[in-house]
């Protein structure tokens, strides 16, 4: 089956459609004494198209009400969810990347290759980790 005839990378790189966001990549290691340390690396001004993933459904419990905000990003940036690297001493673990966008912090929950629209493209699903999301203004 042939790929799509439309090349969306032109639109996905158009400044009218793209947003800028920052990514925090986190690597965690455990010393021989059991002490955990995390090294963060921040990459700023990454380009991508950010869209809502699904409606922020209201969750209601006896003690609290909250809405989980999810987004989808199409980008060429190298992003990661959690992974373990056992061939290092001490073993290290990559925590899911955090995405800083529009005043909120999102955790990457899914990174899928989107190569049929061009080499290097990924589709990322992220969910808000903030207790209270920033106010959306128009």
State pLDDT tens for residues 55-113.
666 777 788 776 678 899 999 999 998 776 767 666 678 899 999 999 999 999 999 99
For the stretch 14-54, pLDDT in tens is 888 899 999 999 988 887 788 888 899 999 999 999 998 87
Longest dimension (CA), the chain: 57
**Looking at domain 9-128, which of 2.40.10, 3.40.50, 2.60.40, 1.10.286 is its CATH number?**
2.40.10
- Which secondary-structure segment (H or E) carries 86? none
Domain boundaries, given as residue ranges, for the chain: 9-128
Question: What is the pTM (predicted TM-score) of this model?
Answer: 0.78
Could you check whether the bond before residue 90 is cis, i.e. omega within 30 degrees of 0? yes
């Amino acid at each position: 089956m042939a790929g799509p005839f439309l090349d969306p990378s032109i639109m996905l790189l158009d400044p009218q459609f793209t947003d800028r966001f920052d990514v925090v990549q986190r690597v965690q290691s455990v010393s021989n004494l059991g002490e955990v340390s995390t090294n963060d690396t921040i990459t700023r001004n990454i380009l991508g198209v950010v869209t809502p993933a699904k409606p922020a459904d209201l969750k209601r419990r006896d003690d609290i009400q909250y809405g989980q905000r999810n987004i989808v990003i199409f980008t060429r940036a190298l992003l990661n969810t959690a992974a373990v690297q056992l061939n290092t001493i001490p073993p290290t673990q990559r925590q899911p990347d955090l995405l800083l966008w529009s005043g909120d912090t999102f955790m990457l929950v899914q990174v899928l290759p989107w190569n049929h629209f061009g080499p290097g493209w990924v589709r990322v699903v992220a969910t808000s980790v903030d207790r209270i999301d920033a106010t959306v203004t128009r």
